[in-house]
Each structure stands twice: as C-alpha cells, then as structure tokens.
Structure 1
Amino acid sequence: MLYLHGLGHFHPENVISNSFLEELDIGTNEEWIMDRVGIMTRRTVLSLDYIRSTKNSDPRAALEASEYNNAQIGAFSAQMALERAGLSTADIGMVISGSSASDHLTPVEASTIAAELNIDVPCLDVNSACSSFGMDVHVLSMMKPEALPPFVLIVNPETMTKSVDYSDRSIAVLFGDGSAAAVVSSREPSRSVFLSSFCDSKPTAWEKVVIPRMGYFRQDGHAVQGFAIRKTTDSIRTLQSVYPVNRFVGHQANLGMLRTACERTGIVEDQHWHNVEHFGNTGCSGAPAVLSQHWQDLTPGDHVAVCVVGGGLTWVHTLLKIEDSL
C-alpha cells in the first residue's frame, strides 16, 4: 500500500503538428498518421527549426540543441506535485526517477533532478523504460514503511524526441516529450492510495525495443503493438477480477492500442483517460501525466486501473483507489 499525496506534469511549448511532419517530406500526411496512431500533436524540447533543418541527423547534437534537459522538466512537474500535496522540498526525504532515455549514464537522473530542486537527500533511479512509473510505485510498495522517509518524490522525465530519426516516418509520428511527478508515502495517509501492484517481464525479447547509446529509437513495431495490447488487456482483466474498476489509464503508446484494450475489457470511452492524441508517446511520463491532468476529476469511490508496458519487455499494473475520507 502506497499513499498518493500529489501529482504534477509538464510538457514543453514547441508543438510538432501533423502538418509539420508532412512538410518534412518523409512520406506521411494527416490521414496516414491519424489512421495509424491517432496522434494530432506532440511536444518537443527541440526547436522546430532544428528538426526541420537537420531531421536530427546526429542524435548527439540534440543534447546541445535541447531547450530543456531532463532535470529541468522533471523539476517543473515536481513543483506542481509538491504544491498539490501542500508540501515543500524540505519535506522530501528521497527522490526516485525513472526514464527511457536519461541525459547521463552517470549520475542517476534522480540526483540531477534533486539538484535542480536544491534537495540533498538519498537519490536512485528505477528504470524499466516506458513502464518506469509503475515500477517505481511497485518497488516502493514492497519496501517496509520504516525503511522509507515520510515523503518520497517520484519523477519521470522523458525527452524522447532527442532519440528520433525524423527521416523515418514510422518513428517520427510517435513521440513527444514531457515529465510527470508524484509525491507518495508509505507512512502518511491520504485519500488516494495505490492498493496493489504487479510487475513482470520477458527479457528474452529485450531486442524488440531499443535505444542504443547515443543512437536512435528502434522497435519491431508489429510485435511490440501486439505485446502492448495483450499485456494491457490482461492487466485490466486481472484488476477487474478483484476491484470495481471504473477508470483506466494506460501507457500512451498510440490511441489504437489503447482503444483495442478497452474494447476487449469493456472499458467505455468516458472511463478511459488518455492524452496521447495531444502529446504523443511520452514514454514513462505518459500515464502519470494523464492522472495528473485529471487530478481534480478523481472522486471518492474511483478505482483507477493504471496499466503500463515498456521495453525489456516489461509490464506493470497498479490500482489507485480514492477513499471517501482519511
């Protein structure tokens, strides 16, 4: 059991529209994109002029060209989460981060985010690609309450567009950048609580989704799509067998994948919270950012199934319940 005290999110200002991608002359257009992935816009830390002029031909240069780094966008989302929790940075006793594409091999990204927030506390990363938020919650849920400080900050920054080859239409249409954060506690109660969590992986299939060091994102799209649908469907059904699930938030990979999982499990549209059509696939920040955008919509009695998948191949699900009172 892990109590949730606040959520935050951030998306950079630069918008990659479908018309912009069409102007890159990579063989795509609005109709093709909407039919394949259902994404209208994405956000990026890169300038549109940089993408237009280089198509990100050298992903190493994208680090220098970025208008924000992971620590900065992580801090932005963390500040929102702290404000919603009614806490300050002085209340945080540990920072945990997870990401699909960290800015540094060393140190851990949690340290760079904590430094951005001017927090000196224990820091560590728990990474499982796009399922990192779920894995962070799962790992903390398994720890003894007395082993943790009263409040822990989870931060999931993603700048996936730095790893995109903008001459490859199959990848260029998918990704956006963003960050999400959560303030949690295993000791201090709140009305929002993660009741249970589960994780598993299929490491023999790790090569299906890869970002090589200083390289481009690549995947076996057909295999990964099938995996995401199956594991998301199985996760929803598992939670439905135990809890009266009335909300669903999944990994924001693409709208078609999410809707197929909903159709197979009886999740109707007004129970399905998503933002992939406006922000693209923002890796592990996608699902918690959706929750954050609906922070004011969470009502007593809600049972939210949060089901995420990622490289590795990994999958995690957890159940967020909103209690009537403390």
Structure 2
Amino acid sequence: MFLHALGHFHPPTVLTNAFFEELGLETNDAWIMERVGIRTRHTVLPLDYLRETRNRDVRAAQEAAQFSNAETGRRAALMALERAGLKPSDIGMVVAGGCSPDECIPAESNRVAALLGIDAPAVDLQSACSSFCMQLHFLTGMRPERLPEFVLVVNMENSTRVVDYTDRSSAVLWGDGASAAILSPRVPGRWRITETLLAGDPAGADKVRVPRVGHFTQQGGEVQKFAIRRAGETFQELRSRYLASHPGKGQADVTFIGHQANLRMLESVQRRCEVPDARHRYNVHVRGNTGAAGAPGVLSEHWDDPSVGDAVVLSVVGSGLTWAGALLERTLPRL
C-alpha cells in the first residue's frame, strides 16, 4: 500500500492558555505547560460561545460550531488531492473515522464524499484516537484487486464540542482539526506502508468515553500510563522490524510520530524508546489533542521536510482501549 499524499486543516479560532485563565478555570500558562506542554489549540466553536456557556450543553455546541466535521474533512482532503495531483473523480473509496461524529448515520465518509463530489463507496472505520493506524491496518490487509486505484482516508476531529469548559483537566487538552490521506494498492507513491500493528483491551472500555449526548470523560492517570506503555511498545516493535530488514540502519534512523495527546506523554515515550530529538516530530504543543487526526496531521505538516528521514513509525492509542501503529518507508528520493 502506497501513501501518495497527506493533507490537514485546523479551524482559525485559537484557544490560548490565557483564555482558560479568563474563563476562571484556576489555571495559568505555567501550570498547563508543566503538566501537558500545550500552549495553543484550535476550535470550531466561537470564543464568545465558550465565554457565555462554558459548553454546558453539547447539543448547543453542535449548532454553534463554525465548521461541520465534513467541511473540515473536505478541506484536508483538498490539500491531499492537490499534493497528489489528483481530482475527486479519481477517488474510488472514502474511509473516515474519529471520536465525535456529527451523526450516528449516515457515515461521516458519505458527508465528505458528497461535499467533494465523489461518486464512490464511503464507509466509516473508527477506534477513536487510534483510528488512522487502525484504518491502515485493515486497508493494507485487503486483497489489492478488491480495492480501487485510489482510496481517500479522512479523520475529522472537532472534539472541543464535547468538552466541558468548567473542567480544566480536559479543557486544556483538546483541539480541533482534520487529516486526509490518499492511498493506492497499486500505483507507487512517495511512501510505502510496509508494516502495521493493531491490538486492544476491551476491559478498559470505560476509561475514555464520549456518551451519545454528553461530555468527554477519562480516567486520566490510568490512561496516560497505558498510553505511554503501549505507544512505546508499538514503536519499538515496528522499529525492530524495520532494522531487521535494513541491516545497515540504526535506531536513530527511524522517526517517531506518536498520538498527540500531550507533549509530556510523548516525551516520556521518547525517553523510554531512546529516540533522539532529531527523530521526534509533534505538533501537540500548538494544535492540542486532535485525536485520530493528530499523528497523520504531524506528518502532513512535514510533508516536504527531508529531515523526516526515510522511515517513520506512527504509534497511536485510543479509547476501546486500542493501540495501533504503522511503519512507512520512503520510496522516492528526498527532495
């Protein structure tokens, strides 16, 4: 499976740490930076709406949002299509997923396909924040002849709509954004997905939740320990597979892109796995936790950056509990 292009989109409204002080959350920039390392994040919600309501009613947030999930997905997809030199009519399937869909039905992928004018099958595959690597796992495992020439994978994450802005522990984490990837099982592209991993522990299903009509909740301490352990194990396993098939390479030749939950968590994984700073890419410090759009969004922001190297491991975790990873190897010379 080849990765031809990535795209991303973040809504223009920014939530600063000073804004949370203004809301009276008994926090400040130093407290937030020390604990999670996030300075800014984006939101589809107007700041005046948050000031007035603290987002107590998630149904009202749906109405107040300045962008729908599908619109943010469309914008990320347009970037990916332009980078790939493709048109919407070239796409033969749309796959989508994420943490907080606009509707139970239809599938969010249908909404994105409709906005783009794509006349093709559209399905959702989601496992919360681990959705992107889970989607890659399933798509790379399919018989190539059963897939179209090009597949669009979109992850739309506008979870600020389900955040309780009287709860500082969750309010400071989340940001909104979307990512898009164009894959092909036959046409060579810039990257090849050579390995994937998918695992889960359903006994932890209650540890991270967004009810049908309600706010995001999590058992923060337990979830962070789980995320650090599983993200590290996934990265190390995929890095080992890469090194086993490339004898001349060393650990410092593999770039780590983790689930963008918070910077302190990512730094802990980086230390445990002995990843040098030059091989760690992230954007959580300015984007916040953008769920399933986080890891692919990071690589999208570095799409034309040759310093990313020739091998990248995405290692992500999510509600369920699930964890997944993907090894990408560069197929074309660095620019």
TM-score, length-scaled by structure 2: 0.95
Residues 1-326 of structure 1: matches in 2 within 5 Å? 2-244=1-243, 245-298=253-306, 302-324=310-332
Could you list the runs of 5+ residues in structure 2 that have no partner in the other structure?
244-252
Q: What's the CA shift string for 1:60-117, capped at 9, x where partnerless? A: 1000000000000000000000000110001000000011110000000000010111
Distance 2:200 2:11 in 1: 31
Q: Which 4+ stretches in 1 moved above 6 angstroms?
A: none
Contact 2:89 2:119 in 1 (8 A): no
Residues paired across the two proteins, number: 325
What is the CA-CA distance between 1:237 and the residue it aligns to? 1.1
| 3-state SS, counterpart of residue 316 of structure 2 | strand
Q: Which amino acid in 1 is paired with 2:166?
A: S
Aligned counterparts of 2:308 and 2:55: Cα–Cα separation in 1: 46
TM-fit CA distance, 1:239:
1.6
User: CA offsets per residue over residues 242-297 of structure 1, 9 Å max, x none?
Assistant: 21452110100000110110101110112100000001001100001001000001
1:167 shift after superposition: 0.3
Aligned residue type for 1:266: E
Code of the aligned partner of 2:319? G
Moved more, 260-269 or 71-80: 260-269
Percent identical pairs in the alignment equals: 50
Cα distance in 2 for residues equivalent to 1:232 and 1:26: 30
The amino acid of 2:188's aligned partner reads P
Aligned-partner residue type, residue 301 of structure 2: Q
Uncovered stretches (5+) of structure 1, i.e. residues with no partner:
none
> Could you list the per-position Cα deviations for residues 25-51 of structure 1 after superposition, in whole angstroms to 9, with x for gaps in the alignment?
011111110111000000000000000
Q: Is the 8 A contact 1:300 1:323 kept in 2?
A: no
TM-score (norm 1): 0.98
SS at match of 2:156: strand
Deviating more after overlay: 295-304 vs 267-276: 295-304
The alignment partner of 2:99 has SS state of coil
Give the deviation of 1:298 after TM superposition: 4.2
Residue identity opposite 1:252 in structure 2: Q
Confirm or deny: 8 A CA contact 2:255 2:308 kept in the other structure.
no
TM-aligned CA deviation for residue 299 of structure 1: 6.4
Query: 1:191: Cα distance to partner?
Result: 2.9
